[in-house]
Structure 1
Amino acid sequence: MSRLRVPIPRRNFGLFGLFMGWLLLSAIAVANDVAASGAAQNVVYVNLPASIDGRVVGNLNVGVTGTALYTVDRQSWIDFANGHFDADVIASIAQAADDQAIPVVAFIEEFIDIFFDPATLEIKIDLAESRRRTRQVSLRPQDVDYANLSEYELPGRSAYVNVNLQQDYRWDDSLSSDQRQSTLVNVDGSVEIFGSPRLVLEGGVSRYSAAGIDDGWQRSEVRLVHDDMQRAVRYSLGDVFYRATEFQVSPPLLGLSVERAYAEIQPHRNITPTGTRSFTVTQRSTVEIYVNDLYQDTLYLEPGRYDLSDFAINAGVNDVALVVTDASGEQRRIEFSLFSDPALLTKGLSEFSFNAGYQRGTTDLGGIGYDYDAPAFSGFYRYGVTDYLTLGANFQGTELQQIAGAEISLATPLGSLATNVSTSELQSVGRGTVASLRWSYDFFAGGARSHQLDVVAVARDDLYTYLGQEVPGLQNKSELRARYSAPGPFDSYISASARHAETFDEAAPVDKVYSFNITRRFGPFNVSLRLEQEISETEEARALVRLSAPLGQRQLVSTQWDSFDETGELLLGRSPNGTVGDFSGGLALRSGVDTYRADLETFYQGNRFQLGMDHSYVHFTDVDLEPDQLSTLRLGSSLAYADGSIGLGRPITDSFVMVRRHESLDSSRILVDERQDGYAAVADNFGPAVVPTVGSYMMRRVRWEAETPPFGYDMGDIEGNAFPFYRSGLVYTAGSEASITAIGEILDTNGNAIGMTVGKITATDEREFAPVTTFTNKAGRFVAQGLAPGAYRIVFPDRGGLSVLFRIEEGATGIVELGIIRERISL
């Protein structure tokens, strides 16, 4: 078999391409003419451009006989197919190779039409949709790859402690001075004690003192926490809190907890099956997505097959439309329905909680205690069998009590169903059972606001007990609840609900409650009306009317009247905005049958602390009773540590970000995270800025700026892309030594300007320095930014390596005028 390799241009052939094509076809014809009549066909081996859906996407080494495709090189096929074909299809075809050559029949068997087009000198491929590689496209704008966080700044060693003080003063002349006052001090915080694997110790103490009362310092919850971020599993040891299913309770334990906590550790991940749909585009196209006639997003896609997921849909059946527009302007519309239920898990995902330890109680002094004679276990496991079916099981128990249950969540075109069954066994009481059935159906009726129907039925016997109960509690024998909400006439929104509850006392009447709500906006005013009727031993009716209106962006006024207890209320409030120096608070006036009450709340948010002051005044209609007044002062602050820096700030709720200033900016404040009315934190002479309200495992963009930097100061980086872990902190530095802007004029040895040329600046004092490029004007004048004190050389490659030296002295900031710099002469 003769072998002839002819390289072919990939795209625009032109005259040269036509000539090469003529040579190729001539070579093929000659090869066929000289072939022996009884031998195998002569094959010419060439490297040709290959196209899918009419678009060249790579090259293939192929064997061509005459004008027909004969074989495809195995390795060439694998390199070409990755990224375009389904992985199983690639492997199946590669396995059909004979001595590294894949016969064309192997492609035909996989429903791939591949052929040689002698007119364009291309290998053309048409394939069935099922053979294409499916690419994932998500509509969630902030997806995080928790297995690869290389694009984020991650925290190092960190710790913090919060101190909160509350001082109460009761205005009562019948009490002595010390009896009027009480003080509560809370101290809490966390510290990272190991970096790999990351282990966090968190806890706190508190102390309450009043007249004749001082229990000393009491320990609050203390625990060790380790998060396996990629698996979304949290391990806790100590005072643990944990999740529970419908008929489980979760009393705090001293012990061990292992939980899969997607919401806490992978908050950007959507674990609920919101529907996935595959579609194909054959050429570069724009795809507009509509859900229930509401625009969602526009995607710009290359040819290929795609799985589109993470739709912003409501529970129940949703109508989805994709409008695909190709490069020629031709449109096609793809419509389908998707079903979603928040109780379901995506196929293959699981969530669980396993906890064991001793139940918590209280000591005689009011502190935390444990029942070491009664170890307890609590756990559940849920698994997404399919996107439409989730199963679960749960168990809780002590030596004297065991509780076991199961659950099923199912999505159907007629709504979502969920059922839970649980049975308990308590020594000396016996066995009890409880079950529930939930039905939810959400749908649309020609509008953008959903119609929602929820029905819940619960039935139990009188011996069922929850974990920790010694005798059955007061419970209903059966209960039926239903709620329907939908848009109403004249742009209103209405809802109606009903509740029927039957007790174990057969002589007692069925408790029935019916309610109707309607809300509507009139310009800036929002009006709501609630009507309620309760039928039990007596029949009572109730009406509640509420009117509210915004006063600017942060102020709100509202008033309401409740006929049930004949109370009225007027509220005027200003919400906090999280900036330094912000004031917020509110005034509430309330009237009742026997009292008139006024509550005043004020809150100030400083840079290093927060301060709140409250005062309540209650006036009694009974003239024999004196008014009751209570004033409260609340003060909070924190001390944070991150990677060698310590900062004072407001109390930290989860994680924090710190911004320190470089010594070259000692004369300027650093303003962090500018907002409409101010800044989130400020670095000044009291230390770094501390942003205290940062959520863990969530991307946090942080930006800073110098308020009054030196003239010409180069700030360099002014923002960070932080990704804090649980109870962690990151630190950034505003400014650097490399903040100087140097200006000079370069002349050669003859005094002529070295103009209109590029120069490369490097350091000559053996320190790490990234080269800086500059450019001279006609007069040889140049500007270079990002320099630090030290010695430098500018080299001009276009001038035969001509170079000059200059120095920036220590202590220089901002713009440095170098004056005239002459060419360096080598002797």
Structure 2
Amino acid sequence: MDRGGAKTGLIGGVATASLLAMIVVGPVAAAPRKIELLGGPGAAGVRKIPVQNPAQPPQQILIPGAPAAQPPKPAPLKTTRLNPSSKTITMVVTLKDRQATLGDVEVQVAPDDTIQVAVDQVFELLRKTVDPVALEPLRPLAEPGVFAPLERFAAANLPLTFDARTLELAVAVPASARPRQSIGLAELDRITYGEFARPEPFSAYANFRGAVDYVHESSGETGLGDGLVLLDGAARFGGIVVEGEGSWQGGDDGGFTRDGTRAVYDDIRNLNRWVAGDLIQQSRGFQGIQEMGGISVSKTYALLDPQRNVAPRGGRTFTVNRESTVEAFINGNSVRTIRLQPGTYDVSDFPFVQGSNDVQLVITDDAGQRDVVSFSIFIDRTQLAAGLSEYALYAGVGSNRLGGSIDYSGKAAASGFYRYGLSENLTLGGNFQYFDKSGMIGGEAVWGSPLGTIGGDVAVSQLDSVGSGWAFNVSYERLIQDQGGGLSILATAEARSENFGAPGQLTPQNPYVINTSFSINKSFGDSSFAGIQLRYAKARDAFEDEQSVRLTYGRRLTDKMNVIFDADWAEGGTAGGATFRVSLVRRFGTSGSMRAEYDSRDSRVRLGYQTSGGRGVGAWSGAGNLDLGKDLYGLNGSLTYAANRADLGIAHSTAYSQVTNDISDQRTSLRAATGIAYAGGRVAVGRPISDGFVIVKPYAGGKDIAIEVEPSPDGYYAKSGVLGPALYGQVSAYSPRTVTFDAPGAPAGFDVGTGAIRVYPPYRAGYVATVGSDYGVTAVGRLLRQDGEPLTLLAGVAIEQGGEGRRVEIFTNRSGSFGAGGLKAGRWRIEMPSDPPLVYELVITDAPNGIARSGDLRPVP
């Protein structure tokens, strides 16, 4: 990018390459050209950019010293043309489906900036997200080398949008064109184009998330609380990753607690992940989660989350490992905020969620980390494509980390599952679980029938404490999309025997003999929607039968305002009678919204507002809710700010009793989170790292030059400075990514190289990108023979005299003009293999805007 100087990024590099090509070739010739940009200082690879002309076969012109072409970085605000040359150029850009990156495709940019896209590459990337029938209109064009205008994709009902600012393609896939929910070959089999940088052989990072509370009201102590710091990190050496989590609590009873440690190895060829240590499990069907230390192997199409604080325990139970604030949502509406101590809980312990079909708990610990646990009678059914399988096997000994440290029981524990796509429409699977003389075995099936998705789970258990039991569930789902809106039908039924439970449960809680639910929802275009949910549960023993009806209607009043009505009737259990809720939502711009809600259940009014602004460093967000009711009020709010080296926040929460409307806890929290990373001999500090990271630093001669990472007209995500290199920590494993950078404040002649690093990172990988070089000058002039005639159509070399002794290829066109990039101020010797060989002296003393004009040069003796 060029902001008042001659810094060269990708766009500048392409434009410079086009300019040099015209200088070298002279008048436009009939034959098309291939410009091969050879990596200069800091280049990450070599890329050939074809300039299309279907009338003639290609020839190749080498332009030395130009930066290696990489997927584009965001263009400067002042850039109004993508292709300033008179030739069609081809570049590689990212294709996105909503927020998901599908991969890279080639696009052609004509001299008038019209765009054409490689059909075969788009076709291949869309095969995993678009129904095959919807792709048929593109199939005739999906041949190598065939490019089509954007209008052709729109005509195929798969419109593409090209963002000239970020240089990205976005596909808008209609809901009717998306296939039934399924899992394919995951991210690891994505076709990628171009070259990728290698991760450092050794890298490591650590995140620190700290918080301190001021407790205004509580059943325990009030006032300024003891500080809490959560730690997590990882180190990667070769293909082995060692990762762990822990916490430090202040106060007399505090200290360090290890929450988990494990070694991870990914066998990419077979898509297997091997783990040894404190295992983090995935479950299927009626399986619960039994914490254990041991070994595991898994092949699944979702990455594990080692920092998970909350784990479902089977049935309607879950465990909280740290003191946390819990906000309960029923059918998408917030109904109560409570405070929980570490322990295992059952949803039935909370009267305010009984009788509900869809319960979601948002659990936030004192350091601000959030986990979401959903308990829904609607079962998420996923299918595998024909011939694909996924599995997991965990074996070891049971463990418990609720008491401040991890206690290994010495009792054998094991669990696992296997799923196989028998056909495109049928997926079968089995699972088992064992712990301390108790076990469970189960099976599952998902059938994508012509009438909808039908699925079921079945299991039998043998618990040492209560004996044997059984359980099954079945579900039916039908989704219909048309131009007038969508219609969804969901029906489920689940039955459990009294003594059924997952191993690890001492006393199973199964209050229902059978639990059934039916839901139908209909949208009417973009203007309104309506739905009805019915539930009936047949109870056992001392419990009451439960039944409920819920009606929902929502309508858009204006482009920025909508209203939602909910009416509920329930009978049995602790819930009873009729209630209603009305919500009015008003949006302000693209990031702000206000919500006013009245709930007749406890005569409560909630007023809420949320907004955000900025991008990257300087981004902020704020949210607040005011609850008003009989003899009570409560305030919940938060404000966050993204600094260059840390995330900062303040929050205030009000929690209520589980059984009454009394306030049980009220506190204000100050929070800060930062990350420290090491790779390639460099240490960097920045915001917390989620998976992999990139350290971006200026070259040795540019220590005072600030480098911005992921720059755009709206800001940047990290910046180097007094505290050292920039740290960008949002790099996901096994997903191709281009991380861009720039130096907007650098002096003229500073060369940022490719302006990007392209990565395909393994798990927890670290990269280092060095930005800049003194070799950022382009020399333009003309070479003459001894008799004054131009030296035409000849390739030679420019050799630096002193310094690094760099060699740069140089070419002349029909008029003897040349353009050579990748030079710096100083003396250069030009050797041209003519007959006889000629030698020229090029002296670069001044290069305003990075261009040195030498004029006519004659041979030296």
- TM-score in terms of structure 1 length: 0.66
- 1:619 deviation in Å? 12
For 1:642, which of 679, 689, 694 is the aligned residue?
679
Q: Runs of 5+ in structure 1 lacking a partner?
A: 1-131, 266-340
Q: 1:575 aligns with which of 587, 612, 615?
A: 612
Q: Is 1:215 aligned to 2:250, yes or no?
A: no
Q: CA RMSD in A?
A: 3.7
Residues 764-783 of structure 1 correspond to what in structure 2 (within 5 A)? 769=806, 771-775=808-812, 783=819
Per the alignment, residue 241 of structure 2 pairs with 200
Once the two structures are superposed, residues 182-226 of structure 1 have per-residue CA deviations (whole angstroms, 9 ceiling, x without a partner) of 200122110013x1xx1100113211124xx33311112111111
For 1:647-662, list aligned pairs within 5 A. Answer: 647-662=684-699
**Displacement of 1:551 after TM fit?**
1.4
> Post-superposition shift, 1:415?
1.7
Q: Do the aligned partners of residues 399 and 176 (structure 1) sit closer, same or farther apart at CA in structure 2, a change above 3 Å counting? A: closer
Equivalent residue number for residue 561 of structure 2: 525
Contact 2:485 2:524 in 1 (8 A): no
Give the letter for the 1:153 counterpart: A
| CA spacing shift, 1:521–1:798, aligned 2, 3 Å | farther
Shift of 1:591: 1.1
Deviations 1:526-554 (A, max 9, x none): 22121111111673112121222221222
Alignment of 1:340-355 (within 5 A): 343-355=382-394
Cα distance in 1 for residues equivalent to 2:501 and 2:700? 65
| Counterpart in the other structure of 2:748 | 711
- CA shift at 1:249, angstroms? 0.5
Report what 2:473 is aligned to: 436
Q: For residues 206 and 727 of structure 1, do their structure 2 counterparts lie closer, same or farther at Cα, with a shift above 3 Å needed?
A: same
How far apart, CA to CA, are the structure 1 residues paired with 2:516 and 2:218? 52
1:181-200 residue pairs with structure 2 within 5 A? Answer: 181-193=225-237, 195=238, 198-200=239-241
Q: Tell me which amino acid in the other structure corresponds to 2:264.
A: V
1:512 to 547, 552, 555: 547
Distance 1:428 1:648 in 2: 52
8 A contact 1:754–1:776 mirrored in 2: no
Query: What residue is the counterpart of 1:761 in the other structure?
Result: 797
Q: Distance in 2 between matches of 1:504 and 1:681?
A: 59
Give the distance between the partners of 1:533 and 1:683, measured in 2 at CA: 59
Structure 2: which amino acid aligns with 1:761? V
Q: 1:384 to 1:747 in 2, by over 3 A?
A: closer
Are the structure 2 counterparts of residues 755 and 546 from structure 1 closer, same or farther at C-alpha, using a change threshold of 3 Å? farther
Find out whether 1:732 has 2:796 as its counterpart: no
1:362-761 alignment to 2 at 5 Å? 362=401, 364=403, 366-372=404-410, 374-444=411-481, 446-447=482-483, 449-488=485-524, 491-505=527-541, 508-522=543-557, 523-536=559-572, 539-575=576-612, 578-616=615-653, 630-675=667-712, 677-742=714-779, 752=788, 754=790, 760-761=796-797
CA distance in structure 2 between the partners assigned to 1:545 and 1:189 by the alignment: 45
Indicate conservation of the 8 Å contact 1:757/1:798, yes or no: no
Letter of the structure 2 residue corresponding to residue 713 of structure 1 = F
Letter in 2 for 1:413: P
Indicate the SS of the match to 1:653.
coil
C-alpha deviation, 1:342, in angstroms: 5.4
C-alpha deviation, 1:172, in angstroms: 7.1
Q: Aligned equivalents of 1:381 and 1:685: distance in 2?
A: 52
Is 2:211 the counterpart of 1:166? yes
User: Structure 2 vs 1, CA of residues 665 and 254 (structure 1 numbering), >3 Å: closer, same or farther?
Assistant: same
Question: Which range is displaced more, 379-388 or 814-823?
Answer: 814-823
**1:776/1:199 Cα in 2 relative to 1: closer, same or farther (>3 Å)?**
same
User: Quick check: 1:357–1:375 contact (8 Å CA) kept in 2?
Assistant: yes
User: What displacement does 1:714 show?
Assistant: 3.5
2:429 counterpart SS class: strand
Separation (CA, whole Å) in 1 of partners of 2:508 and 2:548: 25
Quote the Cα distance in structure 2 between the aligned partners of 1:744 and 1:685. 41
Could you tell me how far 1:710 is from its partner in structure 2? 1.8
**CA 1:707–1:239: 2 relative to 1, 3 Å:** same
List per-residue Cα deviations over 1:560-589 (Å, max 9, x = no partner).
111112221112212365511222212322
Instruction: Name the SS of the counterpart of 1:256 in structure 2.
Output: strand
Percent identity reads 29
Amino acid at match of 1:501: A
- AA aligned to 2:495 is A
TM-score (norm 2): 0.64
> Match of 1:182, as an amino acid?
D
1:122 maps to which residue? none
1:67-146 counterparts in 2 under 5 A?
145=189
Task: Give distance in 1, aligned partners of 2:515 and 2:655.
Answer: 39
8 Å Cα contact 2:799-2:830 kept in structure 1? no
1:629: how far off?
5.6
- Between 1:530-539 and 1:430-439, the stretch displaced more is 530-539
Q: Aligned to 1:473, what secondary structure does the other structure show? A: coil
Q: Distance in 2 between matches of 1:714 and 1:571?
A: 49
Maintained 8 Å contact 2:749/2:847: no
Gap change, CA 1:458 and 1:770, over 3 Å in 2: farther
Contact 2:750 2:774 in 1 (8 A): no
How far, CA to CA, are the matches of 1:572 and 1:491 in structure 2?
23
- Tell me the alpha carbon deviations over residues 392-414 of structure 1, each in whole angstroms, 9 at most, x when there is no partner: 11111134112111122222212
Deviation at 1:524, TM superposition (A): 0.9
For the residues of structure 1 that align with 2:280 and 2:667, how far apart are their CA atoms?
34
Q: How many residues align?
A: 602
3-state DSSP of counterpart to 2:590: coil
Distance verdict in 2 for CA 1:449–1:799, change over 3 Å: farther
Q: Which amino acid aligns with 1:189?
A: G
Asked whether 1:236 is paired with 2:275, we answer: yes
2:302 alignment partner, SS class: helix
- Cα distance in 1 for residues equivalent to 2:221 and 2:784: 87
Rounded to whole Å, the distance in 1 between the matches of 2:824 and 2:295 is: 53
Give me the whole-angstrom Cα distance separating, in 2, the residues matched to 1:447 and 1:581: 41
Q: What amino acid does structure 1 have at the position aligned with 2:247?
A: S
> By how many angstroms is 1:160 displaced?
0.8
- The residue type equivalent to 2:750 in the other structure is Y
Cα pair distance change 1:586/1:740, threshold 3 Å: same
Specify every segment of 5 or more residues in structure 2 that has no aligned partner in the other structure, as ranges.
1-139, 147-152, 159-169, 172-185, 305-379
Distance 1:502 1:645 in 2: 64
Deviations 1:399-454 (A, max 9, x none): 4112111122222212222121100112352211111111112224x426331111
Partner of 1:356 in structure 2?
395
**Paired residues of 1:596 and 1:619 also in contact (CA < 8 A):** no
> Match of 1:159, as an amino acid?
A
Distance 1:580 1:145 in 2: 33
2:290 to 206, 228, 251: 251
Instruction: Name the residue aligned to 1:333.
Output: none
C-alpha deviation, 1:663, in angstroms: 3.2
Distance 1:509 1:598, change over 3 A: closer
Structure possessing the higher radius of gyration over alpha carbons: 1
Matched to 2:554, the amino acid is: T
- Distance in 2 between residues matched to 1:567 and 1:542, nearest whole Å: 12
